[in-house]
């Protein structure tokens, strides 16, 4: 149980275009989903917290207009990287938290974004 | 501000040797601490949570509030333990702050 999927697993896009990444909790309802960014050989950096039905909360330094987050249902959150630039190339990981469990997060497999 | 420090980027041991991965934290409240593991080409998964005081795959971790530490230990390392290990601290709004991780290599 407690599986989180991400789609796509990798994507290549051209500079200036937008790309959407989906995060789904497959067998549980996720009140909260988190979006992280991971640079090569570095730790996870929290970008934003997404609560179902409300606006996402972004961490300091993360551009909310660039990284649009939508959490329309208890099983789906999306991250849209708008007007992508090569510096946005990274590994994006989502996680989901079950309502009944306080801090426990289940992680998706990640999405590799390459902007050319 | 909360912070998690994992002082070792890399740790290499031989199979059967004891292993200790260090984690120190900084937090003003009562901490909720976790160890996550990421095996090669796999997603991050929860290994241990301090509150349950459990032993998973032979690993244990004890919260030492005096030393603000939550070191991960295993008495006899196995090759399959080779992975990236992250210490994480729970904060407000159920957010997790991760350390930079320690890459453990267990040599045969």
Bridge-partner residues for A10, per DSSP?
A112
CB spacing of B100 vs A42 below 8 angstroms: yes
Given A57, A105, A108, which is nearest B96 (Cβ)? A105
Residue of A92, A93, A105 for testing the chain B interface, max B β-carbons within 10 Å:
A105
- Top-confidence residue, B19 or A72: B19
Q: In what order do the strands lie in the sheet with B19-21?
A: B19-21, B72-74, B60-61
Question: What is the nearest CA distance from A22 to chain B, expressed in angstroms?
Answer: 16
- Confidence at residue B70, expressed as pLDDT on a 0 to 100 scale: 96
Question: What is the nearest CA distance from A67 to chain B, expressed in angstroms?
Answer: 18
- Taking an 8 Å Cβ-Cβ cutoff, which residues of chain A contact chain B? 32, 34, 42-44, 46, 49, 57, 93, 95, 97, 102-110
**What are the pLDDT digits (tens) for A17-49?**
999 999 999 988 888 999 999 987 778 899 999
- Confidence at residue A1, expressed as pLDDT on a 0 to 100 scale: 66
- Confidence at residue B51, expressed as pLDDT on a 0 to 100 scale: 77
- Confidence at residue A98, expressed as pLDDT on a 0 to 100 scale: 80
- Confidence at residue B28, expressed as pLDDT on a 0 to 100 scale: 86
Q: Are B36 and B85 in contact (CB under 8 A)?
A: yes
Max intra-chain CA distance, chain B: 43
CB spacing of B94 vs A102 below 8 angstroms: yes
Q: Which of A13, A29, A98 is nearest to A21 (CA)?
A: A13
A109 neighbourhood in chain B, CB within 8 Å = 42-43
**Where does the pLDDT of residue A11 fall: very low under 50, low under 70, confident under 90, or very high at 90 and above?**
very high
A38 neighbourhood in chain B, CB within 8 Å = none
**What is residue B36's DSSP assignment?**
E
**What are the pLDDT digits (tens) for A61-114?**
999 999 999 988 889 999 999 999 999 999 999 999 887 767 788 999 999 999
- Confidence at residue B53, expressed as pLDDT on a 0 to 100 scale: 73
Closest chain A residue by Cα to residue B5 = A43
Bridge-partner residues for A73, per DSSP?
A76
What is the distance between the alpha carbons of residues A53 and A31, in angstroms, rounded to a whole number? Answer: 9
């Amino acid at each position: 149980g407690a599986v989180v999927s991400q789609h796509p697993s990798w994507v290549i896009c051209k500079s200036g275009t937008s790309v959407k990444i989906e995060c789904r909790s497959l067998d549980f309802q996720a009140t909260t989903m988190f979006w992280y960014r991971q640079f090569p050989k570095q730790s996870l950096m929290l970008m934003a917290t997404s609560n179902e039905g409300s606006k996402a909360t972004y961490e300091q330094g993360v551009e909310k207009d660039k990284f649009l987050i939508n959490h329309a249902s208890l099983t789906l959150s999306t991250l849209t990287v708008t007007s992508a630039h090569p510096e946005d190339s990274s590994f994006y990981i989502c996680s989901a938290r079950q309502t009944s469990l306080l801090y426990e997060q289940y992680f998706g497999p990640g999405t590799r974004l390459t902007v050319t | 501000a909360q912070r998690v420090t994992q002082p070792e980027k890399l740790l290499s041991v031989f199979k059967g040797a004891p292993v200790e991965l260090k984690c120190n934290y900084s937090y003003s409240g009562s901490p909720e601490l976790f160890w996550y593991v990421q095996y090669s080409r796999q997603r991050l998964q929860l290994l241990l949570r301090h509150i349950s005081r459990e032993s998973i795959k032979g690993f244990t971790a004890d919260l030492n509030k005096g030393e603000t530490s939550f070191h991960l230990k295993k008495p006899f390392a196995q090759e399959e333990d080779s992975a990236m290990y992250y210490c994480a601290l729970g904060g407000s709004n159920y957010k997790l702050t991760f350390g930079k991780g320690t890459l453990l290599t267990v040599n045969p």
